[in-house]
């Protein structure tokens, strides 16, 4: 123990301090104070207030006002005028119907495909990790590129999809996918499903990997076949994440008109016009800010209502 | 020179009070162990001394310095954590140097301190490794080395051995005791393991529900626990407790009548008519030695052979069990009826509120 | 013996089927991207020919040259780079501080705050775009890269804070305690110990935010009106709509603009996936 005795310093009562006591600087001392957390939060709170809450409040306020950049003379408070007009607006109802079809169709398709992809990719074989990364790529692609690639591939004259389908004998002649009102929304949904399914694949694959293997072993011991295991082990374990990811996805699908704006602009006719697109075009093309804000408010309320009902319902169904 | 004083220290989270007024003096260079069941507040108290938790009321002083307004960095302490809390992105050397760098110690001096501490702790060849490339025992050493290098006034240990396997734990326990002997620094050590407390401490502080139950040298706590809680917590296997009816003996001591009618004259001053009678399993005698002693009779319901010793759990009349510790080669069998003798000088009586009745 | 062989055979069939399914999904996911790349390498005559070619008969880079030299594409890309950089910088500074506070401190209103950061994501983009348009016009930030970056912060800052909090939560608080006992202040421990440990997560989060800002179309369309601040998605889409941009150039522009996305994604994909799915694993 000589080394330790060496380490000992200062014999007797007065020991010599080898390492001086630390003195903190002003900033260091400030960071030890109780209000430090709020100081750290301050910039974000200011930003959230200035660029999110204030504009949102302003947006709600705008819904009760007339505001057209093209007709500034008419500006002023109009109460619920816009909301009454919305109730009587056939385009609103059409857009609402399209939104429902678009969102339900896209989410169901994305979830189904995402779940399938997650189940397939949840294997411990060489190459599957790389595959899981590749499958994520569409989700990270910009809408502008995704939309235009598909517009190219679905082109009525030169599109590769027409060519493939004709070669396979599915189609006899090329089709103009975005020109037929009935087909346009379905085609746009197909694009959206391609673009969005990796989101579900990502989350579901992670959730699948987190399921303890002994659950399956226990089920297998009880004589459960693959399908039983899927229904009684896998699905219940995925339930929460499916519920949560569906809410998130619905919110972003309802709120973002980007891919439709790029693919169809709402046409042909108004066959692919959804609410967010309607509101955006009201603002962007007509500069009718009051009416557009009222539409956005209605969308927001519908989304809140949906999220609340959906979460309630999925809780009730569990019990 | 660097003792520690706590005065009226309290801690509450909202309306929940977890430390309810602690007064404690820790002498310079002593090894003090805080022991208690989980949730008793021992770790919280240690973290309050470190400054990692605010105190709600009271004062803390290290040496002659009032520290409760100082940041942990400024208190002149070093701490070893249960999880070791090594910096994963730094090498062993950088881990050990960190505190010195913060204190503004120069490069060459740092080198010297680290090298010496590393030699002491047999970490010489590992200085350039990252923590994740070390075994559990080595990480533990690095954590201790990091504390030593700082040359602190007070060392704080928060259950440092509980992540080690049993063999290593015993080995590290011995090393810690030696370290304290060699370094001659104040050390405060938190554990829930009363064996660690007994073996390491100069003084043990028994805590329960945010209060100090008793402070004392290990053997004092063992011999004269101040209350039922300490009596039950210190010592393994646990002390036996039996309900007793008490009257004053002719010599002024307490005559305790146990369930089954056995009478023991306990050498304490009686303070009432009802009490809890306590006797340690290792103090009960068996076989020939019982002659002339008050005794209990019971059936052996469990016999645990530990090798060096054997624990026999006896069922007495009226749903009472008593544990007896006998030699490892004892031939007591399951279901055998056993008579045990009680030596009065080894027994205790505790009043209804739990406090031990004092000896003369 | 027969049983063993049949079991092994069955397992082999299972493996083959797994690979078949995996390849189908991968092809479905990346075929459009590959197709875009192929188109971008074909000469215009081959693209418009009635005879569909899958593999380019002649490989050419003329489309890349065309979009880069005969349009304002470089300016658009530059605008996007600047806007994205500002957005990421704001998020890193403001968001890291906020997520650290939320991860490390327990204070009144903490969970309400977290929920608040989530709820702001529910506001329809349109609802924010219009007021932002008016406010930015008032401050002279309309049609500016700074204004656009601020607008992006509205939806990206909350994402940054949530994701970053996940990475920070994974750093054990005891490590920070150790640093503080060792002579660091709270902020010193954050800078010297916590941030180095979450650096991969910080990079992944920043990349995620950068991709979001780089890709954004709708807000940029509304808030930018000139080449001074217009970002590439808006510019490219305008070229498609107004100037009937030839497919080859469009494909080349698309490939150029997704290269940074793909490269960044590949670099941090592992850490990013962990961060994005932290909630899924916890359930």
CA dihedral B353, B355, B356, B360 (to 10 degrees): -100
Contact check, Cβ <8 Å, C266/A210:
no
Q: Which residues contact B210 (CB under 8 A, 6 or more apart)?
A: B11, B17, B18, B19, B20, B22, B40, B41
Burial readout C91-118 (b: 16 or more C-beta within 10 A, e: otherwise): bbebbbbbbbbbbbeeeeeeeebeeebe
A–C interface: beta-carbon pairs under 8 A:
282
Q: Which one, of A17, A26, C191, lies nearest residue B100 by Cα?
A: A17
User: What is the enclosing helix (H) or strand (E) of C232?
Assistant: helix C232-243
pLDDT for residue A121 is more than 90: yes
What is the structure's pLDDT at A13?
40
Please give, rounded to a whole number of angstroms, the shortest distance from the CA of B4 to a CA of chain A. 16
CB A269 within 8 A of CB A259: no
Please give, rounded to a whole number of angstroms, the shortest distance from the CA of A21 to a CA of chain B. 6
The region, left, alpha or beta by phi > 0 then psi within -120 to 50, assigned to residue A157 is alpha
CB B148 within 8 A of CB B115: no
Interface of A with C in 95-134 (CB under 8 A): 116-117, 120-121, 123, 125, 127-128, 131, 133-134
Name the residue of chain C whose CA is nearest to A38's CA.
C101
Query: How far apart are the C-alpha atoms of C255 and C63, rounded to whole Å?
Result: 11
Please give, rounded to a whole number of angstroms, the shortest distance from the CA of B47 to a CA of chain C. 9
Could you give the residue range(s) of every CATH 3.40.50.300 domain in chain B?
Answer: 4-227
Contact check, Cβ <8 Å, A1/B182:
yes
Q: Which one, of B32, B253, A40, lies nearest residue C94 by Cα?
A: A40
Mean local confidence (pLDDT), B334-341: 92
Contact check, Cβ <8 Å, C181/B73:
yes
pLDDT for residue B340 is more than 60: yes
Residue A129 CA, chain-centre distance (Å), reads 24
Greatest Cα-to-Cα distance within chain C, rounded to the nearest angstrom: 83
Mean local confidence (pLDDT), A195-208: 92
What is the structure's pLDDT at A235?
87
Which member of B74, B119, B150 has the closest CB to residue A3? B119
**Where do we find the tokens 């949906």?**
A306
Contact check, Cβ <8 Å, A152/C39:
yes
Contact check, Cβ <8 Å, B74/A24:
yes
Contact check, Cβ <8 Å, A5/B182:
yes
DSSP label of A311? H
- CB of A137 within 8 Å of a chain B CB? The answer is no
Query: How far apart are the C-alpha atoms of A124 and A136, rounded to whole Å?
Result: 18
What is the structure's pLDDT at A10?
37
ipTM value: 0.89
User: What is the enclosing helix (H) or strand (E) of B207?
Assistant: strand B203-208
Q: In what order do the strands lie in the sheet with B16-26?
A: B16-26, B4-13, B57-62, B65-66
What is the structure's pLDDT at A11?
40
pLDDT above 70 covers a percentage of chain A that reads 93
**CB contacts, 8 Å: B75 with chain C:** 181
**CB contacts, 8 Å: A28 with chain B:** 71, 73
Residue C92 CA, chain-centre distance (Å), reads 15
Contact check, Cβ <8 Å, A48/C158:
yes
pLDDT for residue A1 is more than 50: no
Contact check, Cβ <8 Å, A241/C157:
no
Q: Which residues contact C44 (CB under 8 A, 6 or more apart)?
A: C62, C63, C246, C247, C248
Which member of B82, B86, B89 has the closest CB to residue C196? B89
What is the structure's pLDDT at C5?
65
Contact check, Cβ <8 Å, B73/C172:
no
Contact check, Cβ <8 Å, A1/B178:
yes
- CB of A278 within 8 Å of a chain C CB? The answer is no
Residue C83 CA, chain-centre distance (Å), reads 14
Range with lowest mean pLDDT among A62-66, B110-114, B153-157, C5-9: C5-9
Query: Please, which pLDDT band fits residue A42 given cuts at 50, 70 and 90?
Result: very high
pLDDT for residue B274 is more than 80: yes
Can the peptide bond before residue A187 be classed as cis, meaning omega within 30 degrees of 0? Answer: no
What is the structure's pLDDT at B221?
94
Q: Which one, of B268, B277, B272, lies nearest residue B242 by Cα?
A: B277
What is the structure's pLDDT at A16?
59
Chain C residues contacting B via beta carbons under 8 Å = 172, 174-175, 177-186, 188, 193, 196-197
Could you give the residue range(s) of every CATH 2.40.50.140 domain in chain B?
Answer: 237-350
The SS3 of residue B32 is strand
Mean local confidence (pLDDT), B230-236: 92
Q: Which two tokens stand for residue B292?
A: 């002339």
pLDDT for residue B121 is more than 60: yes
Residue C255 CA, chain-centre distance (Å), reads 15
pLDDT for residue B253 is more than 80: yes
Tens of pLDDT, residue by residue, chain C (283 residues): 555 567 788 888 888 999 999 999 999 999 999 999 999 999 888 887 777 788 888 888 988 998 898 888 999 999 999 999 999 999 999 999 999 999 999 888 888 888 887 777 778 888 888 888 888 888 888 999 999 999 999 889 999 998 999 999 999 999 999 999 999 999 999 999 999 999 999 999 999 999 999 999 999 999 998 888 999 999 999 888 877 788 888 999 999 999 999 999 988 888 888 888 876 665 4
Please give, rounded to a whole number of angstroms, the shortest distance from the CA of A11 to a CA of chain C. 25
Q: Which residues contact B139 (CB under 8 A, 6 or more apart)?
A: B84, B86, B131
Mean local confidence (pLDDT), B16-39: 93
What is the structure's pLDDT at C2?
53
Which member of C105, C125, C250 has the closest CB to residue A148? C250
The SS3 of residue B310 is strand
Q: pLDDT tens-digit profile of B88-107? A: 999 999 999 999 999 999 89
**CB contacts, 8 Å: C179 with chain B:** 87, 98
Q: Which one, of A191, A206, A194, lies nearest residue A245 by Cα?
A: A206
Disruptive mutation site among B56, B75, B103, B148 for chain A (greatest number of A CBs within 10 Å): B103
Which member of B74, B103, B183 has the closest CB to residue A19? B103
- CB of A308 within 8 Å of a chain C CB? The answer is no
The SS3 of residue A158 is coil
CB C251 within 8 A of CB C63: yes
pLDDT above 90 covers a percentage of chain B that reads 76
User: Whole-model pTM?
Assistant: 0.87
Q: Which one, of B359, B342, B240, B183, lies nearest residue A3 by Cα?
A: B183
Residue A291 half-sphere exposure, CB side, CA atoms within 13 Å? 22
Q: Which residues contact B338 (CB under 8 A, 6 or more apart)?
A: B286, B297, B298, B299, B300, B312, B314, B324, B332
Which residue ranges form the domains of chain A, and what is each CATH number?
89-285 (1.10.3720.10)
CATH code for the domain defined by B4-227? 3.40.50.300
Q: pLDDT tens-digit profile of C43-89? A: 888 887 777 788 888 888 988 998 898 888 999 999 999 999 999 99
Q: Which CATH class is domain B237-350?
A: mainly beta
Mean local confidence (pLDDT), B322-351: 92
Query: How far apart are the C-alpha atoms of B25 and A170, rounded to whole Å?
Result: 89
Strands B309-316 and B240-248: what pairing? unpaired
What is the structure's pLDDT at A5?
37
Contact check, Cβ <8 Å, B102/C186:
no
Range with lowest mean pLDDT among A163-177, A294-308, B197-211: A163-177
**CB contacts, 8 Å: A128 with chain C:** 22
Contact check, Cβ <8 Å, A22/B73:
yes
**CB contacts, 8 Å: C116 with chain A:** 48
- CB of A4 within 8 Å of a chain B CB? The answer is yes
Contact check, Cβ <8 Å, B156/C184:
no
Q: Which one, of C159, C175, C171, lies nearest residue C94 by Cα?
A: C159
**Where do we find the tokens 């600047």?**
C82
What is the structure's pLDDT at A4?
38
Mean of per-residue pLDDT scores for chain A = 86
Q: pLDDT tens-digit profile of B156-214? A: 999 999 888 989 999 999 999 999 999 899 999 999 998 999 999 999 999 999 999 99
Please give, rounded to a whole number of angstroms, the shortest distance from the CA of A247 to a CA of chain B. 36
Q: In what order do the strands lie in the sheet with B337-342?
A: B284-286, B337-342, B295-305, B309-316, B320-327
Query: How far apart are the C-alpha atoms of C239 and C256, rounded to whole Å?
Result: 15
Which member of A30, A203, A280 has the closest CB to residue C277? A203
The region, left, alpha or beta by phi > 0 then psi within -120 to 50, assigned to residue A198 is alpha
Q: Which residues contact A198 (CB under 8 A, 6 or more apart)?
A: A114, A117, A135, A136, A137, A138, A139, C29
What is the structure's pLDDT at A12?
39
Burial readout C25-59 (b: 16 or more C-beta within 10 A, e: otherwise): bbeebbebbebbbbbbbbbeebbeeeeeeeebeee
- CB of A244 within 8 Å of a chain C CB? The answer is yes
A92-99: long-range contacts at Cβ-Cβ below 8 A with a sequence spacing of 24 or more?
A92/A275, A92/A278, A92/A295, A92/A298, A94/A270, A94/A273, A95/A270, A95/A273, A95/A274, A95/A275, A95/A277, A95/A278, A96/A275, A98/A185, A98/A270, A98/A271, A98/A272, A98/A273, A98/A274, A98/A275, A99/A254, A99/A274, A99/A275, A99/A276
Full DSSP string of B328-348 = TT----TT-EEEEEE-GGGEE
Please give, rounded to a whole number of angstroms, the shortest distance from the CA of A207 to a CA of chain B. 27
């Amino acid at each position: 123990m000589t080394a330790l005795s060496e380490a000992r310093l200062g014999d007797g009562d007065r020991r010599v301090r080898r390492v001086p006591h630390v003195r903190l600087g002003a900033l260091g001392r400030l960071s030890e104070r109780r209000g430090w957390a709020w100081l750290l939060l301050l910039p974000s709170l200011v930003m959230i207030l200035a660029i999110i809450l204030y504009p949102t409040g302003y947006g709600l306020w705008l819904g009760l006002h007339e505001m057209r950049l093209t007709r500034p003379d008419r500006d002023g408070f109009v109460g619920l005028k816009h909301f009454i007009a919305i109730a009587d607006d056939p385009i609103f109802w059409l857009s609402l119907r399209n939104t429902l079809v678009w969102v339900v169709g896209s989410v169901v398709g994305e979830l189904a495909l995402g779940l399938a992809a997650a189940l397939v990719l949840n294997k411990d074989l060489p190459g599957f990790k790389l595959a899981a990364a590749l499958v994520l790529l569409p989700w990270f692609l910009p809408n502008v590129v995704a939309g235009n690639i598909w517009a190219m591939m679905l082109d009525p004259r030169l599109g590769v999809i027409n060519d493939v389908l004709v070669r396979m004998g599915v189609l006899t002649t090329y089709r103009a996918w975005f020109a037929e009102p009935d087909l346009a929304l379905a085609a746009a949904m197909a694009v959206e499903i391609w673009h969005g399914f990796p989101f579900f694949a990502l989350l579901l694959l992670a959730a699948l990997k987190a399921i303890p293997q002994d659950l399956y072993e226990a089920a297998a011991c009880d004589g459960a076949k693959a399908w039983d295991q899927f229904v009684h082990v896998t699905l219940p374990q995925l339930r929460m994440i499916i519920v949560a990811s569906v809410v998130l996805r619905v919110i972003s699908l309802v709120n973002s008109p980007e891919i439709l704006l790029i693919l169809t602009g709402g046409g042909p006719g108004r066959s692919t016009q959804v609410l967010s697109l309607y509101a955006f075009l009201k603002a962007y093309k007509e500069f009718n800010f009051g009416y557009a804000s009222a539409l956005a408010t209605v969308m927001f309320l519908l989304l809140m209502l949906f999220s609340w009902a959906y979460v309630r319902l999925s809780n009730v169904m569990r019990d | 020179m660097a003792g520690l004083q706590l005065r009226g220290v309290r801690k509450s989270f909202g309306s929940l009070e977890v430390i309810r007024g602690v007064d404690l003096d820790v002498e310079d260079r002593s090894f003090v162990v805080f022991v208690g069941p989980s949730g008793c507040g021992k770790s919280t108290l240690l973290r309050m001394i470190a400054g990692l938790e605010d105190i709600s009321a009271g004062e803390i002083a290290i040496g002659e310095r009032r520290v409760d307004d100082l940041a942990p960095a400024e208190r002149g302490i070093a701490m070893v954590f249960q999880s070791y809390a090594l910096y994963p992105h730094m090498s062993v050397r950088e881990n050990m140097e960190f505190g010195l760098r913060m204190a503004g110690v120069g490069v060459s001096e740092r080198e010297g301190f680290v090298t010496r501490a590393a030699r002491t702790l047999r970490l010489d060849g590992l200085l350039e490794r990252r923590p994740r490339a070390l075994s559990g025992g080595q990480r533990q050493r690095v954590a201790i080395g990091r504390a030593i290098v700082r040359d602190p006034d007070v060392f704080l240990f928060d259950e440092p051995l509980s992540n080690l396997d049993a063999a290593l734990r015993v080995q590290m326990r011995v090393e810690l005791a030696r370290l304290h002997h060699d370094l001659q620094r104040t050390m405060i050590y938190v554990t829930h393991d009363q064996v660690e407390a007994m073996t390491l401490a100069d003084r043990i502080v028994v805590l329960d529900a945010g209060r100090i139950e008793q402070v004392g040298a290990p053997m004092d706590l063992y011999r004269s626990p101040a209350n039922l809680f300490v009596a039950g917590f210190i010592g393994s296997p646990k002390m036996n407790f039996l309900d007793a009816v008490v009257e004053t003996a002719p010599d002024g001591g307490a005559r305790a009548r146990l369930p089954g009618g056995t009478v023991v004259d306990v050498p304490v001053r009686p303070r009432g008519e009802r009490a809890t009678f306590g006797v340690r399993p290792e103090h009960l005698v068996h076989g020939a030695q019982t002659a002339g002693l008050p005794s209990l009779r019971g059936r052996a319901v469990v016999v645990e052979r530990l090798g060096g010793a054997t624990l026999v759990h006896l069922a007495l009349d009226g749903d009472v069990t008593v544990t007896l510790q006998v030699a490892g080669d004892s031939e007591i069998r399951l279901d055998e009826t056993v008579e045990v003798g009680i030596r009065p000088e080894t027994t205790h009586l505790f009043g209804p509120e739990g406090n031990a009745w004092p000896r003369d | 013996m027969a049983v063993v062989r049949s079991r092994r055979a069955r397992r082999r069939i299972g493996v083959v089927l797994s690979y078949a399914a995996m390849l189908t999904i991968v092809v479905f996911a990346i075929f459009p991207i590959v197709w875009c790349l192929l188109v971008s390498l074909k000469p215009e005559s081959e693209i418009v020919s009635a005879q569909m070619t899958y593999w380019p008969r002649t490989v050419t880079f003329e489309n890349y040259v065309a979009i880069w030299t005969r349009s304002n594409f470089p300016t658009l890309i530059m605008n996007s780079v600047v806007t994205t950089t500002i957005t990421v910088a704001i998020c890193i500074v403001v968001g890291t501080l906020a997520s650290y506070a939320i991860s490390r401190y327990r204070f009144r209103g903490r969970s309400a705050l977290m929920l608040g950061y989530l709820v702001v994501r529910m506001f329809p983009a349109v609802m924010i775009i219009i007021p932002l348009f008016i406010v930015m016009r008032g401050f002279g930030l309309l049609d500016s890269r700074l204004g656009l970056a601020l607008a992006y912060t509205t939806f990206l800052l909350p994402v940054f804070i949530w994701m970053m909090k996940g990475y920070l939560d994974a750093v054990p608080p005891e490590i920070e305690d150790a640093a503080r006992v060792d002579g660091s202040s709270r902020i010193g421990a954050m800078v010297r110990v916590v941030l180095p440990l979450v650096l991969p997560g910080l990079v992944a989060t920043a990349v995620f935010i950068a991709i979001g800002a780089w890709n954004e179309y709708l807000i940029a369309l509304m808030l930018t009106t000139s080449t001074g601040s217009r970002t590439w998605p808006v510019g490219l889409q305008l070229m498609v709509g107004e100037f009937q941009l030839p497919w080859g150039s469009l494909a080349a522009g698309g490939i150029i603009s997704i290269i940074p996305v793909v490269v960044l994604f590949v670099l941090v994909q592992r850490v990013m996936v962990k961060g994005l799915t932290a909630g899924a694993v916890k359930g």
